[in-house]
Chain A
Amino acid sequence: MDLAVEMREITKVFKKVAANDKVNFNLKKGSIHGLLGENGAGKTTLMNCLYGLYQPESGKIFINGKNVRIDSPQKAMSLGVGMVHQHFMLVRPMTVVENIMLGLSSKRGPFLDTDRVERELLALSKRFNLNLEPKAKIWQLSVGEQQRVEILSALYRGAEILILDEPTAVLTPNEAQELFGILRMMRNDGKSVILISHKLEEILAIVDEVTVLRDGRLVGQAQVTAETTKRDLTSMMVGRDVLFNFKHETLKTGATKLMVNHLGARNDKGLPALKEVSFSISAGEILGFAGVDGNGQKELCEVLTGLRPTTSGEICLNGKELNRSSPKTFINEGIAHIPEDRHKTGLAMNMGIARNLILKNFSQSGFSSRGLLNFRAIKKNAERLMEEYAIKANGVHTKVKDLSGGNQQKVILARELSSKPEIIIANQPTRGLDIGATEYVRQKLLEESAKGAGVLLISADLEEILQLSDRIAVLYDGQIMGILGRNASVEEIGLLMAGVRTEEVEVC
């Protein structure tokens, strides 16, 4: 079979450390190719080289057998290479067509030929089952739909080779299945796809071949057949076996820690985002929140950390009322928060790791004395946490923006989980983490709850919810549809997630 992409001996060095070290990568035409590796292995870097965002120090790239130099994304697109990043780059108040037309030249000279583009987009959307309405405004779309807009945009620009960097991290299982349907259709159409993912089930389900990176080096390329197992992939990635199943000890909860009654709040557009939300979390309990993204999860977390005002209801922690308290009070009362948007909220990207690890407690006695920061203690703390959470970086002062996605997430986790919290509000805590780190974080959440903390766990990954939670609440349109026991079935949860109320709803 012909190769759509051949990358030969690609080396990319950042500050003397090789993120890619003589990596070879071959993509067959008309195939779906998985790119695997632990956090910081160099997957994104390799793909950024292919998409023209980085120039490798050495190595050659061939597209359809032709040696090319890709010095910008524009060049990549002209060669038929498209890339969908994990976060989208869409202009929210504009429509789908308008977003796709941005940066394209019109065939009608100075005038926009919106109608023609719209027709073409509609046809393209039909052909690949993207199910998009070109006139819809971006902000009205779900995350999954926005992702499809990015794919449509790449296809419209003539992409024959599509790179998807952790596309399913933000999707619900259903949305992920839809995405895979689209990818299969593209494969049948002769297009080639590169898929980066940490979710091995997905890789096994859809890809034809995998390439595995470890520490910037190629460790293997293999066909994926019906016989391939998760274990095969992990031992390639990590170089050893990883435990997949661990036991959740039986319920042994204590006194009520967090109590939320009839909570209401508005979203950024001023519309009601939380309606009459009531629940409680006991010491030692993990309360999972299932639900499609955008049904009030973000607002719930913000209300519970003082970042968003409530319009009604009350929040009590250990019997103390916290309504209208400042974020500082919530922090001081021991509420840790792993926010959904790590770049905008959770991190100061231009500061070093050490500083990001003390973002919330730099003025406390351990890290500053008489108003001056204690750099020795700050560095020690960073060294300890980097070791404990396996944060891969050149040093404690490496700027967070220079870390790989998974390692950025680990910085937040290390900071929040090491604060001896009373309550942990974890919004998508394992998003973007590799298997090893995911297991570690889940273990850590169980450990903290065993020590008596209450955990509020929000995740798009139902499996994660089922694995960790003692009880499972389902959020739909800002309301709790029901709170189920830990033995709830996926079907039951799925119905509630879709807004269908069932009979046996347990009231908390």
Chain B
Amino acid sequence: MTTMAPDAGTQDDVAYEAQFNAAVTAEERIEPRDWMPDAYRASLVRQIAQHAHSEIIGMQPEANWITRAPSLRRKAILMAKVQDEAGHGLYLYSAAETLGTSRDELLDRLHSGRQKYSSIFNYPTLTWADVGAIGWLVDGAAITNQVPLCRCSYGPYARAMVRICKEESFHQRQGYELLLALSQGTEAQHAMAQDAVNRWWWPSLMMFGPPDDESAHSAQSMAWRIKRHSNDELRQRFVDICVPQADSLGLTLPDPDLTWDEERGHYAFGPIDWDEFREVLRGNGPCNEQRINQRRTAHEEGAWVREAATAYATKQAERSRHGYRAPHDPQQGDTQEEDIA
């Protein structure tokens, strides 16, 4: 529910802050109408909005292949996945709105470039195998990031993440299955799968964000129990999960330094090209412009649908005010039957 915090100024903020900190430390959830520090609110809006934007921008690289899916089965799967990502965006926009911002404001900030989305979606999907690599690696990295967010201190965000995580596991599995089919196919198909993995591996590792010693928001986010694990911790977890999975696929990961480190009990991996990461973040990735232009165009070209729905609703409301009764709509019948059911 969208409601504002109690009036600031009229209350004793120090006492409220102590109460807030105690609740967070006790692993209680903060709910929309609870008092919260302004910085906590702002930090959540920033993170949830960026997350929501990533979900809807993330629809583009994959939607690119819907019309060219190699079978009806694959096409139906891909449409369902892309539709899920739209749904994830909507859950998250709703969660952000409980903090006192509005949907229009958030979309505005995305369209004007004032709020970011995950850099991973600024890479192109060159072949059908990219759909598989995205499902396995990009959704896989997202899941590694998101599972701990299900226990985030802010209730609406945590609840949205629970729904999202449930849906993500199909995304990852369909990608893995797709890559496996290609890997076990003809020589050309195998090569296509390997090429896609080669291109998506490093950007996927970048999805966990900058190394811990350079991460601007991490410490505070951890103290507020928004974040549970550091970027490097999650990245390591992801690498450890992926290595044996790549093995089962019959594919390799494009890192000559990837070796099992007996002492640490983890896989060691080569250095990440953070210059590339910063370039893409700065707007100079292969598809930054295309993604944001397509988003703006979709929004503008959809305006007439929103206006029509608004006009219809206004007209209906007008009529019911004047005592006009709309003809019975059989599709609405089940609301009444429902009471008996």
A and B part of one assembly: no
Give B residues with C-beta under 8 Å from A: none
